[in-house]
Amino acid sequence: MKKTNDQSYDLKEALLFSQRIAQLSKALWKSVEKDWQQWIKPYDLNINEHHILWISYHLNGASISEIAKFGVMHVSTAFNFSKKLEERGLLEFSKKESDKRNTYIQLTKEGEAILLDLMEHYEPSKNSVFSGALPLRDLYGKFPEFMELMTVIRKIYGEDFMDIFERSFCHIEEEFVDEGGKLVKKEANVTDQQESISN
């Protein structure tokens, strides 16, 4: 067990932790990736494109560098996939009068419609990670919250990253309702009810 003066751990402990997290992350990502691709496949999107739409929706006017940071992708990847989404009419590019250096993106109505439709058609039974966590929910009455993992991610990516992470989930909590087994945006729900009352 070799320790330097400023280390409170030994090399074997460090290696075991690093390899354990690497193996678990790889196994989890493989499953997440497969589930994610199957969910978005009918919309002709890839994971990066969907992630960009998701971040754009929750940030409501994000710069390409913010998309890259919060999407954990290179700036050129964020730009190139955003450009493809713009060509499909799902995003709009703009510059701000006060900030000509950065390029900003905003969801179009079509982009928002696709994102909301995806959320409405999410099927938990087709998500293997959800299914894998279901026994824990049944046992403890809630899903794992991953507080320790979130602390590690906060240390790696910073407070801004975690703020956006939490904000996106707060938006879902506040703006959507489960209606007949589908997630529906509250405003859209109110509009539909008003239209049905007036007809």
- Give 115-144 pLDDT, tens digit per residue: 999 999 999 999 999 999 999 999 999 999
**Per-domain residue ranges of the chain:** 30-198
| pLDDT surpassing 90 at residue 3 | no
C-alpha dist (Å) from residue 42 to 50, 55, 71, 88, 196: 12, 20, 22, 15, 29
| pLDDT surpassing 60 at residue 89 | yes
pLDDT score at 87: 97
**Residue 185 and residue 116 in contact, taking contact as beta carbons nearer than 8 Å:** yes
Main-chain phi, psi angles of 182, to 5 degrees: -130, 145
Q: Which long-range contacts (CB under 8 A, 24 or more apart) does 20-25 make?
A: none
Question: Which architecture, in CATH terms, is 30-198?
Answer: Orthogonal Bundle (1.10)
pLDDT score at 180: 84
Global pTM reads 0.82
| pLDDT surpassing 80 at residue 97 | no
C-alpha dist (Å) from residue 154 to 20, 89, 97, 166: 19, 34, 32, 11
